[in-house]
């Protein structure tokens, strides 16, 4: 090789090394920036959900549409983008898109124990089928921004390319709609409601090919937890949030029991209004049954709480009639 040829080759190798170094440098910068941007998107989502959860604790009967960076949020038991200890959130297992629909409602049995937070994506389709008043009431209670459809009897359902479809059935169970047969099984779910707006049972179903597979049943007390069963697409998610709501009810009941005990003590000391003492004493018995029943979530405890709530509401009315301090 002569000297000139060696010089040209050396120049090319030099250009190659320098070019590679520059490329490598910028690739590293871009990759770092990409991971930072992903991290920042995640942080924005976590912050938004945290703010929603905080807001849910302080305001009842609200509906909000929140803009978020386009993302997939996985929701599980005590988990929504991050881990919580006691999260009362009813939502589908996966929330996709750049918008969140949130709704809050008070959970009262009969006094307010906590707020229930419902969250979903406008891309999830809800199909309500039923002709009774409860079906109409549930349809009315769901936000109008939700992709919801209400039918009195089984309609012809078409696939409108939603990533999840939830059927809420108030009468006899229907067949899996043909148009939805090709969707993944876990994305087509149904909940069958048996009961009224005070209490009842709910059965969770998941599509399995062209038929339904039962995933178990649970219970609800009041309209609000029933709406929770509409949003939560699995039995586990529903029961997890209900267990958390019940533990909150347990704490609040203990507070009311302590308060009523003190009211009874003071009424007994003064002895002016025996009717007040009578109301407080009966109320204490009902509060203690609510307290005992709310330590576990289940059909039996729901029946006990529903019965005791009614009796407690009567005692509260009695207290009001006799101008006593109200129990709650």
Contact residues: other proteins, CB under 8 A: 3, 6-7, 10-11, 14, 18, 21, 25, 29, 47, 50-51, 54, 57-59, 84-86, 108, 110-114, 247, 251-252, 254-259, 262-263, 266, 316, 320, 325-326, 328
Please state the closest distance from residue 239 (CB atom) to other proteins, in A: 19
Measured from the CB atom, is 136 or 259 closer to other proteins? 259
Please state the closest distance from residue 313 (CB atom) to other proteins, in A: 9
Residues in the chain: 328
Measured from the CB atom, is 4 or 140 closer to other proteins? 4
Please state the closest distance from residue 279 (CB atom) to other proteins, in A: 14
Measured from the CB atom, is 70 or 270 closer to other proteins? 270
Measured from the CB atom, is 197 or 214 closer to other proteins? 197
Those residues whose C-beta lies under 8 Å from the C-beta of residue 180, and which sit 6 or more positions away, are: 157, 159, 165, 188, 207
Measured from the CB atom, is 10 or 70 closer to other proteins? 10
Say how far apart CA 252 and CA 246 lie, in whole Å.
10
Q: To the nearest 10°, the Cα dihedral for 132, 138, 139, 142? A: 180
Strands 124-129 and 94-108: unpaired
Please state the closest distance from residue 44 (CB atom) to other proteins, in A: 11
Say how far apart CA 69 and CA 43 lie, in whole Å.
10
> What Rg do the C-alpha atoms of the chain give, in angstroms?
28
Which runs of consecutive H residues, i.e. helices, occur in the chain? 3-58, 133-141, 223-231, 235-270, 274-293, 299-321
Token output for 81 = 């983008």
Measured from the CB atom, is 196 or 251 closer to other proteins? 251
Please state the closest distance from residue 296 (CB atom) to other proteins, in A: 16
Q: Is 253 helix (H, G, I), strand (E, B) or coil?
A: helix
Please state the closest distance from residue 220 (CB atom) to other proteins, in A: 19
């Amino acid at each position: 090789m002569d000297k000139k040829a060696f010089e040209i080759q050396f120049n090319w190798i030099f250009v190659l090394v320098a070019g590679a170094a520059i490329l490598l440098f910028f690739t590293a910068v871009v990759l770092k920036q990409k991971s930072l941007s992903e991290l920042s998107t995640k942080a924005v989502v976590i912050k938004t959900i945290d703010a929603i959860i905080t807001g849910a604790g302080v305001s009842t009967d609200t509906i909000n549409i929140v803009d978020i960076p386009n993302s997939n949020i996985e929701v599980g038991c005590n988990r929504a983008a991050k881990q919580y200890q006691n999260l009362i959130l009813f939502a589908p297992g996966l929330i996709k898109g750049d918008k969140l629909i949130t709704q809050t409602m008070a959970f009262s049995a009969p006094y307010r124990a906590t707020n229930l937070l419902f969250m979903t994506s406008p891309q999830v389709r809800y199909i309500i089928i039923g002709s009774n008043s409860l079906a109409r009431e549930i349809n009315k209670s769901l936000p109008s921004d939700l992709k919801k459809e209400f039918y009195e009897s089984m309609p012809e359902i078409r696939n409108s390319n939603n990533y999840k479809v939830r059927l809420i059935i108030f009468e006899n169970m229907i067949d899996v709609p043909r148009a939805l047969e090709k969707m993944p099984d876990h994305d087509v779910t149904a909940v069958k409601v048996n009961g009224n707006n005070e209490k009842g049972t709910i059965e969770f179903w998941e599509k399995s090919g062209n038929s339904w597979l039962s995933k178990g049943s649970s219970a609800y007390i009041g309209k609000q937890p029933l709406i929770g069963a509409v949003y939560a697409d699995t039995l586990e998610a529903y029961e997890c949030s209900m267990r958390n709501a019940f533990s909150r009810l347990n704490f609040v009941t203990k507070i009311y029991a302590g308060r009523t005990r003190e009211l009874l003590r003071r009424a007994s000391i003064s002895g002016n209004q025996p009717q007040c003492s009578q109301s407080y004493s009966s109320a204490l018995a009902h509060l203690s049954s609510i307290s005992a029943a709310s330590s576990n979530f289940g059909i039996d405890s729901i029946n006990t709480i529903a019965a005791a709530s009614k009796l407690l509401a009567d005692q509260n009315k009695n207290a009001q009639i006799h101008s006593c301090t109200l129990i709650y």
